[in-house]
Structures are given as structure tokens and as C-alpha cells.
Amino acid sequence: RANRRSTLPSTTVSGCSKAMARRHWDACFNIAKHHFYGTAGLAKDTGEAFALWREGCEHKHRLSCNAAGVHAHQNLRDARLALTFFEKACALGAKGACANAALTYLKGAPGVPANPILARELYLKACKAGDQASCRRARNLGAQDEPMK
């Protein structure tokens, strides 16, 4: 058991970076969540959480990419940055990230013009991955005669 502790990732970006090299991506993702919410004995630090999710995304951890996108959208109010993370997570197979990117394109945001055609394509991708809500949204977008304005 003493050996097991030495293989667990640190609660910092540099520690998680080393852990991710050993494929402990989920552990670092969870550490980031604990930083975000201030749970499991870690101080609430949304900046550290975002840094960990960004690092995970750089290592192609799709959940980290999506979480970084949600944080960028909701907390940093940066739709362009959020979209970058959502699109990467979507490309890595995160159906929720495909839906998040679709919604961003559907509504548009500062720096992201509305694009209902691309939104529908992303909803279809999420649908094919099993997201039933995205299937409904894609059908609704496909039923319109004209693009939304």
C-alpha cells in the first residue's frame, strides 16, 4: 500500500502532468473537480481546476476538454475559448461536448456567429454517439425550411 500512494497524482498541474504521462488522466480530472468545488480537503481554486483541465485536454483527455470548455463558457464568459475546448473534446468522442459546441453555434455568442447548419451537424454527431436529446435537436433543426436568424 505504501507504493500505491507514490503512484497517485499530485494535486498540482505539474504533478498531474507527470501522472498523465502514466495515464492517470481520470485522477487528474477528478482532482480538478475537487479544486473547483473545494472538496476532498482541497481549497476551492477554480483557476487551478481550469489549469488542470487544460493540461488534461492537451493530453487528449476528452472529459478534461469538455470541463475546460464549460468553465471557459460559464465562468470566464469566453465563448470562443469554450468552443475550442468543446470541439477538441467532440473530436475525441465526448458526445456532451459535441452538444455543447452545437448549442454554442446554434445560439451564437460574442466572437462566435450563429451557424445552425454546423450546429445540426454537431448535434448529429452527438446523436450518433448515443445522445438522444441531440437526436431530437438535430431533427428539429432539420425540419426548418430556412436557417435560423
Average pLDDT over residues 22-47: 89
pLDDT at site 11 = 62
The pLDDT tens digits for 107-123 are 999 999 999 999 999 99
Average pLDDT over residues 39-45: 91
Nearest Cα to Cα of residue 47 among 56, 35, 64: 35
Question: Which comes out higher in pLDDT, residue 65 or 7?
Answer: 65
Lowest model confidence (mean pLDDT) among 55-59, 66-70, 83-87, 124-128:
55-59
pTM, two decimals, is 0.82
